[in-house]
Amino acid sequence: TSDRPDILLIDQLPDSVIQRLSSAFTLHRYENLESLRPIAEKIRAVTTGGGPGVPPDIMAALPKLEVISVNGVGTDQIDLNEARRRKIGVATTTGLLSDDVADMAIGLMLAVKRQIVTNDRFVRSGEWAKKPVRLSHTIGGQKVGIAGFGHIGQAIAQRAAAFNTEIAYFNSRPRTESSFRFEPDLENLAAWCDILILAVSGGPRSANMVNAPILEALGPHGVLINISRGSVVDEDALISALREGTIAGAGLDVFQNEPNINDAFFTLENTVLQAHQASATQETRSAMGNLVVENLLAHFAGRPLLTPVI
Ligand code: 8YV
């Protein structure tokens, strides 16, 4: 009945959020297109994460879809033109996760530059008693280039500034309200900086934006940090650059084909890997989940979405 709309869940949500959802809606977990078919006609809303989005075949299979509530900020895996054409509302959890994601970028920067993860392995393997410790690199005075200067990029800049780094950013347009230096050319930014942090949104415009020439420009002392989308980086070029010392190291939270990522990453000593966890704190995931619920409740109460993207 219309009192308890049927909702399709793609991706994981915290238990407390599932409980809130199940008190207002009838929930269906997405497994595959086959098992979706019999209930597809009933589904009026989808919740999903920024990573998985809503694959086109799922969207096409849901004729009664009214609203997509994204547990994240990325909409690169949702066909927004198609959603607009079908008058499907799309909401995200904008604003809630920038701080956590920026913290992860800084954490990865420190982990790579100060060799925290390799040092952890050095201690655990018992090597400490046998070998001299390796020297790492100072953060202060380093040049930090930030590609993508939205909420997350700006939160990264604010934090990086506290480490007495020099900062410049690349963006589709200058942020005149910001006092940080704008660099309109990504290759120039890569050539200038010691640490290149990716905070651009995903999608066709940024696909493989960080390719072999950008990595060459970053150079043998350069470090790449990615908390945005795996699609932004040409991974074959990155893996060769890390193997051959074209760049010094990388800290990666996101990959192509998650979670079945290229296993070449597993053997790279100079990389620190995370499982797309930059927003994955209990506090933020529960705030995000609650906003996912609020958007759905608003929609089915006939009110506008709280945080619509279209
Ligand atoms: C989440 C994200 O990990 O906000 C995004 O776009 O990718 C992340 O915050 C994701 O939404 C959960 O799948």
The backbone region for 141, taken as left when phi is positive above 0, alpha when psi lies in -120 to 50, beta otherwise, is left
* Strand-strand pairing, 143-147 and 89-91: unpaired
Q: What is the arithmetic mean of pLDDT over 281-289?
A: 97
Residue 276 bears catalytic tag: yes
For residue 307, name the pLDDT band (cuts at 50, 70, 90): very high
Q: Give the ligand 1 atom nearest the CA of 229.
A: 7
CATH 3.40.50.720 domain locations along the chain: 6-96+282-300, 98-273
Q: For residue 277, how far is its CA from the centre of ligand 1 (angstroms)?
A: 8
Task: Find all residues with CB under 8 Å of 2, minimum gap 6, and list them.
Answer: none
Residue-wise pLDDT tens digits, 246-266? 999 999 999 999 999 999 999
Kindly report the backbone phi and psi dihedral angles of residue 306, in degrees, each rounded to the nearest multiple of 5, phi listed first. -75, -40
Cβ burial 240-279 (10 Å sphere, 16+ → b, else e): ebbeeebbbbbbbbbbbeeeebeeebeebebbbebebebb
Catalytic residue (one of 276, 285, 294, 299): 276
Asked whether residue 284 carries a pLDDT value surpassing 90, the answer given is yes
H or E segment to which residue 6 belongs: strand 6-9
What is the value of pTM for the model shown? 0.96
* Strand-strand pairing, 6-9 and 195-198: unpaired
Ligand 1 probe mutation, 73, 228, 286, most atoms within 8 A of CB: 73
Residues 80 and 69: their CA atoms lie apart, in Å, by 13
Q: Say which CATH class 6-96+282-300 falls into.
A: alpha beta
Residue-wise pLDDT tens digits, 51-98? 999 999 999 999 999 999 999 999 999 999 999 999 999 999 999 999
Residue 229 bears catalytic tag: yes
Q: For residue 288, how far is its CA from the centre of ligand 1 (angstroms)?
A: 10
Task: Find all residues with CB under 8 Å of 238, minimum gap 6, and list them.
Answer: 210, 215, 224, 250
Cβ burial 211-232 (10 Å sphere, 16+ → b, else e): eeebbbbbeeebbbbbbbbbbb
Asked whether residue 2 carries a pLDDT value surpassing 80, the answer given is no
Q: Which of 232, 228, 234, 265 is nearest to 250 (CA)?
A: 265
Residues with CB under 6 A from ligand 1: 11, 49-51, 71-74, 97, 276, 279
ipTM score assigned to the predicted complex:
0.97
Residue 159 bears catalytic tag: no
Asked whether residue 227 carries a pLDDT value surpassing 60, the answer given is yes
Residues facing residue 273 across a β-bridge: 252
Distances from the Cα of 28 to the Cα of 15, 53, 99, 264, 288, angstroms: 15, 16, 32, 36, 20
E strands present in 72-125? 89-91
Q: Say if residues 25 and 7 touch (Cβ distance below 8 Å).
A: yes
Residues 168 and 144: their CA atoms lie apart, in Å, by 7
Residue-wise pLDDT tens digits, 236-247? 999 999 999 999
Catalytic residue (one of 20, 151, 159, 229): 229
Q: Which two tokens stand for residue 209?
A: 């934006």
Other C-beta atoms closer than 10 Å to the C-beta of 11 total 17
What is the C-alpha R_g of the chain?
A: 21
The superfamily CATH assigns to domain 98-273 is: NAD(P)-binding Rossmann-like Domain (3.40.50.720)
Q: For residue 8, how far is its CA from the centre of ligand 1 (angstroms)?
A: 17
